[in-house]
Amino acid sequence: MNDSVTRNNLQLNKWIKRAWPSIILPLVVLFLFHNRNIHPGYNVSWWKLYKLARRLRRNGKSIKSGSSYRAHLAMAAKLLEISPSTEGVVVECGCFKGGSTANLSIICDFVGRDLIIYDSFEGLPSGGPNDRYTRDAQGHFFGALDTVSHNVEKFGVLERCSFRKGWFIDTLPEHVEPIVLAFLDVDYQASIHDCLVNLWPHLIDKGYVFTDDYTYTDLCAVYFSEEFWQREFGTNPPGLIGTGTGIAMGQFFVGPLMSMGGNRAYPLQSPASTAYTRKDYTGYWGYRRENEEKNE
Ligand SMILES: C[S@@+](CC[C@H](N)C(=O)[O-])C[C@H]1O[C@@H](n2cnc3c(N)ncnc32)[C@H](O)[C@@H]1O
């Protein structure tokens, strides 16, 4: 009895894994782009958006990638809200084999922007003492520059891309271009720190930062840390939409990641999403009871 239930479960799992992405593709397009804030200057149609989504999803099967095509599509949705006349590039920090890069290059071509890619092209550095999930992962997510540019040439739009090779601590301080959207997929606290400290000042007023490190609440905590934002920028923290579980894009994920088996969780309950903030958002808690203030 138990064996047959397990067998049936596994079969159902397999079926869902195969069918679900196709079932929800049109729904993801509908949910993400049914949006009156899309700028009319892009002249988009449902058919163009559907074709974009289909291409991004196909690429997800062709290049080994650490993020979902749905995350990339969510970035497209937000880029389409920014006026085409607003100056600014898209930046990707952390590209692995170029799966997310190829998709972002297609999106950049769609919205008429350039893409700058920062990576060591040697994989992850070694982690720090507080990097609980990827501490011993030096060299993981290795993708050589040749491999990445080959993948982008084959599956994306290479002409949109410029690659800046090296450790973030050395390369990011040299960044000068205004940024409309940055995608950070960098796994470590030190790497997140270097990306935010060096890129945030170049983000336009309503520019976006997306992160793939959204399932780890301690990594998301930087977006709510008053200490960090006051020290680095003299501002309040911006917060992070999608903290811990990602934004809703056709799949539930109750989290947290480790207790649910990470990417091996049940197909309807796996994280295949993203989280984001915008420069003008706030994640600051400023309330205090009046009598507490008086007692000071
Ligand atoms: C998880 S992978 C990126 C996955 C990719 N965005 C995708 O969706 O396939 C993390 C990447 O960050 C890069 N990385 C992390 N910390 C870095 C640092 N301090 N300097 C340069 N590259 C770094 C690694 O080389 C690796 O390519």
Cβ(243) – ligand 1 distance below 6 Å: no
Using alpha carbons, list the distances in angstroms from residue 33 to 53, 54, 78, 158, 281: 11, 14, 9, 26, 21
Cβ(191) – ligand 1 distance below 6 Å: yes
Containing H/E element for 208?
A: strand 203-211
Cβ(168) – ligand 1 distance below 6 Å: yes
**Helix (H) and strand (E) counts for the chain?**
10, 6
What is the pLDDT, as a whole number, of residue 264? 67
pLDDT digits (tens, 9 = 90+) for 148-170: 999 999 999 999 999 999 999 99
Containing H/E element for 116?
A: strand 115-119
What does the DSSP 8-state code read for residue 271?
-
Residue with the larger pLDDT of the pair 15 and 262:
15
**pLDDT above 60 for 296:** no
Ligand 1: distance of its center to the CA of 121 in Å? 8
Residue 246: which pLDDT band, with cuts at 50, 70 and 90? very high
Ligand 1: distance of its center to the CA of 210 in Å? 14
The contacts of residue 142 (CB under 8 Å, 6+ apart) are: 96, 122, 123
CATH architecture, domain 2-284: 3-Layer(aba) Sandwich (3.40)
Ligand 1: distance of its center to the CA of 23 in Å? 31
What is the pLDDT, as a whole number, of residue 129? 82
Distance CA 60, CA 1 (A): 38
What is the pLDDT, as a whole number, of residue 135? 64
How confident is the prediction for the chain on average, in pLDDT?
A: 92
* Residues composing the chain: 296
Structure tokens at 79: 């880029």
Q: Which of 10-24, 230-244, 258-272 has the highest mean pLDDT?
A: 230-244
Distance CA 73, CA 84 (A): 18
Residue 4: which pLDDT band, with cuts at 50, 70 and 90? confident
What does the DSSP 8-state code read for residue 245?
T
**Mean pLDDT within 70-95:** 97
Ligand 1: distance of its center to the CA of 262 in Å? 19
- Domain residues of the chain, as ranges? 2-284
Cβ(100) – ligand 1 distance below 6 Å: yes
**Mean pLDDT within 129-143:** 84
* Closest among 101, 91, 38 to 66, alpha carbons compared: 101
What is the pLDDT, as a whole number, of residue 18? 82
Ligand 1: distance of its center to the CA of 7 in Å? 38
What is the pLDDT, as a whole number, of residue 267? 75
pLDDT digits (tens, 9 = 90+) for 15-65: 887 888 888 899 999 999 999 999 999 999 999 999 999 999 999 999 999
Q: Cis (ω within 30 of 0) for the bond into 256?
A: yes
The contacts of residue 60 (CB under 8 Å, 6+ apart) are: 68, 69, 99, 103
Cβ(125) – ligand 1 distance below 6 Å: yes
**Mean pLDDT within 112-128:** 95
* Closest among 127, 149, 145, 122 to 137, alpha carbons compared: 127
